[in-house]
A = this chain, B = another copy of it.
Amino acid sequence: MRSSAELAEALRVIVITDRGFAAPRSVAEVVEEALRAGARAIQLRDKSAPARALLEEARQLRHLTRRWNALLFVNDRLDVALAAGADGVHVGPHDLPVADIRAVAPQGFLIGRSAADPLLARQAQEDGADYIGAGPVFPTGTKTDAGEVLGVEVLGRIASSITIPVVGIGGIKPPGAREIARSTDAAGVAVVSAVMAAPDPYQATRELLEPFSIRSGPDPSSPPRSRLT
Contacts of A150 in B (CB 8 A): none
Shortest beta-carbon distance from A168 to chain B in Å: 24
Interface band, chain A: 20 to 34
Contact B94 A51 (CB under 8 A): yes
Contacts of A79 in B (CB 8 A): 77-79, 82, 96, 101, 104
8 A Cβ contacts from A78-93 to B = 78-80, 82-83, 91, 93
8 A Cβ contacts from A46-82 to B = 50-53, 55, 76-80, 82
8 A Cβ contacts from A87-116 to B = 91, 93-97, 100-101, 103-104
Contact B53 A96 (CB under 8 A): no
- Complex: A76 Cα to B53 Cα, angstroms: 13
Shortest beta-carbon distance from A110 to chain B in Å: 15
Shortest beta-carbon distance from A46 to chain B in Å: 13
Contacts of A78 in B (CB 8 A): 79
6 contacts between A and B (CB under 8 A): A50-B94, A51-B76, A53-B94, A55-B96, A79-B82, A83-B103
